[in-house]
Amino acid sequence: MKNIFGIPVSTIYQHGNKPDLRKVGKDIYELLTNTGRLGYKQRKRNQTIKIEPEKNYAPSEVAAALNLSYDAALRLMQKMKGVVDWGTPTRRYKRGKKKLRISGKNLLTFIRSKTRD
């Protein structure tokens, strides 16, 4: 097959004498729905995060674990129990920065509480 829209299409579809229609259909679907390069936020959201209880997590990792945007994860983390803000306070003429961290233990309890309801 040819390169369509600059995306290489794999030509190894043969499974015996018949083509593997699942792979062909998946490639066609990706060609039709793909807009090109994935942005940083989409790549972060598509990564899988294994939550360990003894590790601290940033909003970007929480966003990837919960499949949210970075901004939504920040808003959600501000309401969670056990979140620590390591950012700078607001001073005169300067806005304070948020640097939120949550332990894996508190993140797991939050996820469990949301999935049981």
pLDDT tens readout for residues 12-23? 555 566 777 887
Q: Are residues 87 and 109 in the same domain?
A: yes
Task: Say what the pTM is.
Answer: 0.57
Instruction: Determine what percent of the chain is predicted with pLDDT higher than 90.
Output: 10
Domain region containing 105: 40-116
pLDDT digits (tens, 9 = 90+) for 86-114: 888 888 888 888 889 999 999 999 888 88
Q: Are residues 31 and 69 in the same domain?
A: no
Q: Are residues 55 and 111 in the same domain?
A: yes
Decide: 51 and 65 in contact? Cβ < 8 Å: yes
Q: Are residues 8 and 45 in the same domain?
A: no
Decide: 114 and 94 in contact? Cβ < 8 Å: no
Torsion angle of the four alpha carbons 72, 73, 75, 79, in this order, in degrees rounded to the nearest 10:
140
